[in-house]
Amino acid sequence: MKTIKIKTPAKINLVLEILGRRADGFHEIRSIMQTVSLFDYLNITVEEGSEKITLSGNSSHIPYDENNIVFKAVKLFLEKTGIKNQSIEVYIEKNIPVAAGLAGGSSDAAGTLRGLNDLYGKPLSWEELHSLAAKLGSDVNFCLEGGTCLTTSRGEILEPMPTPELKIILLKPKNLFISAKEAYQRYDRLEEKPKPGNAEFYNDLEKAIIPAYPEIENMKNLLFELGCKNALMSGSGPTVFGIYENDVDISKLSKEYEVFKVHSIKSDNCGVSA
């Protein structure tokens, strides 16, 4: 039996520009993604025996079966490497909110690939891990790499960038969940798409999401009132992040929100790490 613990960071989108819908149904994007100091943790255990993938965890908001992206990552890794007769257990400690625009699931998938590759003596190269990541989801490649990257195509093409030193507040309504599928469907229904942005931070999905969920605009205003110099919805939402310089008091924020004080983190050759 062998075990490894993997730390998987959340991400925010400092910029998210949607360039159009592709023939394969995905959207062409240009995004600056940034990992931040909010982490899930994976405990991965492998041993020889009957072929079985078992997931468990501390969250009631995710499935623990073949519908979980972690399960899909395990299966894809085993298929690619040809490793057989293994019992694999993954315990997912969720701290990153679910369906929140923070890539928690994608980061867990990336961490699963990294953890399994380490446990089995690195049968796959870094490039091969990225190839698997691209099959799992649009953010998984970035989560594997971490730090700060300009991401293009559907998000799987990465160009590393210098990491800015940012102090960040994450604010998410506890009972609001928005899937990326819903967000992009709402965007596709917009009669007038956002014009190319020239601000330091912007997100094209806001125009599609805020009319349906006005509380997101209220959250942005709340962050400005607290003293943040910028506030933006991350990814498909509903999480909003605020960037601040002088310390801000979050103690009086309503209990209807999940609130995290985090900071930008650099890549140490991988976003997910043991």
CATH number at residue 216: 3.30.70.890
Q: How many helices (H) and strands (E) does the chain have?
A: 7, 11
* Contact yes or no for 157/140 (Cβ under 8 A): no
- Domain contains 232: yes
- Domain contains 139: no
| Structural domain for 182, as ranges | 167-263
Give me the pLDDT at residue 196, please: 76
Give me the pLDDT at residue 216, please: 97
Residue 215: Cβ-neighbour burial (10 angstroms; 0-12, 13-18, 19+): middle
Q: Can 247 be counted among the known catalytic residues?
A: no
Q: Where are the beta strands (DSSP E) in the chain?
A: 2-21, 27-48, 52-57, 86-93, 148-152, 157-160, 167-173, 202-203, 230-233, 240-244, 257-263
- Domain contains 20: no
- Domain contains 184: yes
| pTM score of the predicted model | 0.94
Q: Kindly list the averaged pLDDT for each block of 10 residues, start to end, along the chain of length 274.
A: 96 95 89 97 94 96 97 98 96 97 97 97 97 95 96 94 96 94 95 83 96 96 95 97 93 89 82 70
Give me the pLDDT at residue 268, please: 67
Give me the pLDDT at residue 3, please: 97
**Cα–Cα distance measured from residue 100 to residue 135, given in angstroms and rounded to the nearest whole number:** 21
- Domain contains 224: yes
Q: Can 94 be counted among the known catalytic residues?
A: no
- Domain contains 239: yes
* Contact yes or no for 170/102 (Cβ under 8 A): yes
Dig out the tokens for 84 from the structure.
Answer: 């057989």
Q: Give me the number of domains the chain comprises.
A: 1
Give me the pLDDT at residue 84, please: 94
**Active-site entry in 40, 72, 108, 139:** 139
Residue 256: Cβ-neighbour burial (10 angstroms; 0-12, 13-18, 19+): exposed
- Domain contains 9: no
**Cα–Cα distance measured from residue 56 to residue 173, given in angstroms and rounded to the nearest whole number:** 25
- Domain contains 15: no
Give me the pLDDT at residue 270, please: 56
Q: Is 169 helix (H, G, I), strand (E, B) or coil?
A: strand
Give me the pLDDT at residue 38, please: 97
Give me the pLDDT at residue 274, please: 67
